[in-house]
A and B are shown apart, each in its own frame.
Chain A
Amino acid sequence: MPNDFKKDESVPLAERELLLRSGRGDAEAFRLIVLKHQAFAYAIAMRFLGNAADAEDAVQEAFIRVWKHIRTFNADRSFTTWLYRIVANLCLDHIRSAKHRRTPVSMHAAGPHSRTDNPSSHPFDGETEKKLEERETVRMILQWTGHLPAKQRMVFVLRDLQDLSVEEVSGILKMGRASVKSNLFHARKFIREKITALEKEGG
């Protein structure tokens, strides 16, 4: 398994020490690990799942699993690869089970960017209007992301929205580089075409 947990030489000593201590049941060390990594883990889940409640659930569950198994974790390996893999798997499981529970809801419908009306109809000055347009674009991209098939969506979120490298994505998802690129291609094509269509429509 060439992609599986490549030895990570760059693990900072402090982090390694924290991992070892957590492995020995040191809750304070584990708290520091959670504080350090929860934001990125949350961002992945939030981008992928599209709502804060589910994202929080996923991150919480991910750290519970990490805590349960941290004493068997080799501190020389990449912790983030492991953590993000758990988060990614929980997210994928979530939408698989969610499919049976309810019909697909409009992703990212709720939240700070939930405006659906046409911003140009409001009598704002140019600056505000531009910002509103940008907001709307961001909201639309996130919504389209929610329409991507699960694998493409996860690859797109990790690579393009969270800016991880193809190698990292490949390690997290236990997916070959070719497969990552293929999923990335389809996702980018879909999203970019949507953006282009929106731009044409708008201007």
Chain B
Amino acid sequence: MGCKRFQKQLHLNRHGELSEREKRLLDGHLENCADCSAAAEQIERADQSINMVRSIQPVPPDSLTGRIFASIPSPDQDMPLFKTVRRRFDEVIESRWTRFGLAAAASFAMLAFFFQEAHVLYRVSRLEKRMTTISESHTGTIPFIQWGVPSAVERMSMAAQAENAIAELPEEWVAVRKIDLEALVKSYRDSRRFNEVLLNVLQEYRPELNRLNDAALSDIDGWIRLLQQRPHPIKPHSRFSRNGGQT
């Protein structure tokens, strides 16, 4: 018959599986070859049965969706934002190049962070000790008021300033010393937040401070006014160190 090479084409001759050229060649052959023509008819008949199978699609049971959802971990409804942020973060993390970059950056950042953190913790621990031995004298130094997000180096010096300033507070300033250390450490990162904390503490404990002498009281009132007027002090990195409370 010499038709073997057309056998494959015969079976592939459905929707777009043959190129135009292949199809032309096959059609030409079918016109001249009774055997192949008969085979093609047979295939067409057989395909009617296959079409029948295709027209009956299996339908999943109604319970399938429920089954799927019973087995997937449901997202935490309490903290959608947190989840979202974490997922977004994971997404970035999971890209390969981000991982390489992050691995390098993370090792460096971790070293820097630990060094810095260790230093701050050391200072805070010293601060704690010194707070138990604060002198009676009152210098009127505002702990610090600074604008902007401080750099690592600035954080270091701010930690030192805060430490010194609080160390200089008189013993009667129990309230101010109630600024918890955690808030203080946070304030190294954000001076605006520190100012807010300071203002809140001063306002809240103002009545308790009546035992202080007049100079100290007017000092505190001056600070409250200052903090109220200028949540952001005038210029970056400006620090206030002044005596007396006159405005």
Name A residues whose Cβ lies closer than 8 Å to a Cβ of B: 23-27, 30-31, 34-35, 38-39, 42-43, 46-47, 52, 55-56, 59-60, 63-64, 67, 71-72, 134, 137-138, 141-142, 160-163, 165-166, 181, 184-185, 188-189, 191-192, 195-196, 199
**B46, B56, B84: the one within 8 Å of A25 (CB):** B84
Q: In the complex where A25-B84, A64-B72 touch, is A134 in contact with B52 (Cβ < 8 A)?
A: yes
CB pair B59–A39 under 8 Å, yes or no, is yes
Scoring B residues 45 to 79 as 1 if CB is less than 8 Å from chain A, else 0, what string do you get? 11101101110111111001101110111110000
Q: Does B207 reach chain A (CB closer than 8 Å)? A: no
Q: Would A52 and B61 count as touching, CB distance under 8 A?
A: yes
Nearest Cβ on chain A to B99's Cβ, whole angstroms: 12
Complex contact A196–B45 (CB within 8 A): yes
User: B58 → chain A, closest Cβ, in Å?
Assistant: 4
Q: Which residue from B16, B17, B69, B84 sits with its C-beta under 8 Å from A184?
A: B17
- Measured CA separation A23–B84 after assembly (Å): 9
A25 touches B83 (CB 8 A): yes
Given A38-B60, A56-B60, A165-B16, is A141 in contact with B42 using a C-beta cutoff of 8 Å?
no
Q: For the complex, count residues of B whose C-beta is within 8 A of A.
A: 41
Docked-complex contact A25 and B54, CB < 8 angstroms:
no
Contact A137/B49 with A27-B75, A35-B65, A43-B57 known, Cβ cut-off 8 Å:
yes
Interface assignment of B230: CB less than 8 Å from any CB of chain A:
no
Q: Is the CB of B46 within 8 A of A191?
A: yes
In B225-245, the 8 Å CB interface with A consists of none
Q: Which of B16, B68, B90 contacts A64 (CB 8 A)?
A: B68
Q: Quick one: which of B43, B50, B69 has the most chain A CB within 10 A?
A: B50
Given the complex, which residues of A lie within 8 Å of B67, measured CB to CB?
A: 56, 60
A23-B54 Cα distance, complex, nearest whole Å: 34
Docked CA distance A191–B90 (Å): 48
The answer to whether A199 touches B45 (Cβ under 8 A) is yes
List the A side residues contacting B16 at CB < 8 Å: 165-166
User: For B90, what are the chain A residues with a Cβ–Cβ distance below 8 Å?
Assistant: 71
Residues of B107-159 at the interface with A, using a CB-CB cut-off of 8 Å, are none
CA distance A10 to B56 in the complex (A): 27
Q: Is the CB of B43 within 8 A of A192?
A: yes
Residue of B11, B17, B69 near A192 (CB, 8 A) is: B11
> Given A184-B12, A185-B11, 11 more contacts at CB 8 Å?
A23-B87, A24-B87, A25-B75, A31-B65, A34-B68, A56-B64, A134-B52, A137-B52, A142-B53, A165-B15, A192-B11
Please pick, from A42, A71, A191, the residue contacting B87 in the complex, using a CB distance under 8 A.
Answer: A71
Taking a contact as CB atoms under 8 Å apart, the answer to whether B54 and A163 are in contact is yes
Provided the pairs A25-B87, A192-B47 are in contact, do residues A160 and B54 lie with their beta carbons within 8 angstroms? yes
Instruction: Say how far B4's CB is from chain A's closest CB, in angstroms.
Output: 13
When chains A and B are docked, how far (Å) is the Cα of A195 from the Cα of B50?
A: 9
Cα of A35 to Cα of B62 in the assembled complex, Å? 10
Find chain A residues with CB under 8 A from B71 CB: 60, 64
- Asked if B214 is at the interface of the complex by the 8 Å CB criterion, the answer is no
Q: A residues within 8 A CB of B91? A: 23, 71-72
12 sampled A-B residue pairs with Cβ under 8 A = A25-B84, A25-B87, A31-B69, A56-B64, A59-B64, A134-B52, A142-B53, A161-B50, A166-B17, A184-B11, A192-B43, A199-B46
Assess whether B94 is interfacial by the CB under 8 Å rule.
yes
Q: B80 interface residue, CB < 8 Å from A?
A: yes
